[in-house]
Amino acid sequence: MTVSKVVNIPARPDDHRRAIGSILIDGGHLSPGDADAVERFATETGLRFGEAAVQLKLLSLKDVQSALAQQFNYPVLLRGGEHGVADDVVAAYDPQNDIVEPLRALRSQLMLRWLHLPQRKALAITSPNRGDGRSWLAANLATVFAQGENRTLLIDTDMRHPSQHRLFNVDNAIGLSALLTGRAAGRDVIRRVHPSLRLYVLPAGILPPNPQELLVRPIFNELLARLSKMFEVVILDTPAAMETADAQILAARAGAAVVLVRRNRTRVAQLTAMTASLTDTGASVIGTVANDR
């Protein structure tokens, strides 16, 4: 038997610069000539390629952060347009935004308090009123979970005022309502947001005349149990809890809930009543999140 000696060849000092420079050229942010100028300036000053490009005013800090995200397999999605996400999904297109760090902190808390539980199925994002920011939180929280390499499914269970199809720019012709009425299979309605991001969206679909009746059917519980085995994280965007009983049903089916409140808007009495109603269903209220947006 022949034994070969493994030799680790150190990376050339400019390998990192060449990699990020190629990404920026391919993305149309730098010309090859400008990249060469940045390379020379970086060598002379000892700066990193991105820092040198910003100092030369050839790139913005956002351009560099986006390229770094690509280099380290941290996909940054397009914002707006035919193939981009909506402005509200900040974590997807601007992961270095200050507003995203509290979402990562929430993700960490949920990993400690919820994700490891053996009885975990799904997490319902709930709040008392429309306009509190449930859909915003659900979309961005699902995104940061996926960015953390968790296979994540976001389900729009609001079959009254759905919004996840708009936030992620996915087709809403067939969705949860079709699954619950037996008119579609799961593989036909779950959409992957980006090839390099482990985030999937199940939109609400065509609005049914009887959303609450669909949610109390055994098929929904069976569907949720099946999906929770396919995905590491399942997040439910729910309707406003003070308008219908849908949120209570969904929290009970999920097994856990996060309650979102809006500063200077949500009343203490509303929060107390809502938390009690969720607990009465058997759902575990993991915590409360205050929205300043």
Give domain status of residue 7, yes or no: no
Residues 32, 94 share a domain = no
Q: Which CA distances in Å does 137 have to 4, 122, 163, 164, 166? A: 53, 15, 12, 11, 14
pTM for the model: 0.81
In this prediction, residue 36 carries a pLDDT of 92
Residues 138, 40 share a domain = no
Q: How many helices (H) and strands (E) does the chain have?
A: 14, 7
Mean pLDDT of the region 233-244: 96
Q: Which CA distances in Å does 150 have to 186, 232, 289? A: 20, 6, 22
Residues 67, 94 share a domain = no
Residues 96, 132 share a domain = yes
Strand partners, 260: 289
How many C-beta atoms lie closer than 10 Å to residue 163's C-beta?
20
Q: Does pLDDT of 218 surpass 90?
A: yes
Residues 52, 141 share a domain = no
Mean pLDDT of the region 14-32: 75
Q: Does pLDDT of 235 surpass 70?
A: yes
Q: Give tens-digit pLDDT for 86-131.
A: 999 999 998 889 999 999 999 999 999 999 888 888 999 999 999 9
Give domain status of residue 222, yes or no: yes
Give domain status of residue 81, yes or no: no
Residues 160, 24 share a domain = no
Which span out of 34-38, 63-67, 157-161 was modeled with the highest average pLDDT?
157-161
User: How far is 55 from 47, CA to CA, in rounded Å?
Assistant: 10
Q: Does pLDDT of 17 surpass 70?
A: no
In this prediction, residue 3 carries a pLDDT of 38
Give domain status of residue 5, yes or no: no
Over the range 179-203, which residues count as b (16 or more CB within 10 Å of their CB) and which as e? bbeeebeeeebbbebbeebbbbbbb
User: How far is 144 from 46, CA to CA, in rounded Å?
Assistant: 33
Domain region containing 228: 90-291
In this prediction, residue 9 carries a pLDDT of 30
User: How far is 215 from 274, CA to CA, in rounded Å?
Assistant: 19
Q: Does pLDDT of 19 surpass 90?
A: no
209: pLDDT confidence band, cut at 50, 70 and 90?
Answer: very high
**CATH code, 121:** 3.40.50.300
Give domain status of residue 10, yes or no: no
Residues 287, 172 share a domain = yes
How many domains is the chain partitioned into structurally?
Answer: 2
Residues 283, 215 share a domain = yes
Q: Can you say how many angstroms the Cα of residue 131 is from the centroid of all Cα atoms in its chain? A: 19
In this prediction, residue 48 carries a pLDDT of 85
In this prediction, residue 16 carries a pLDDT of 46
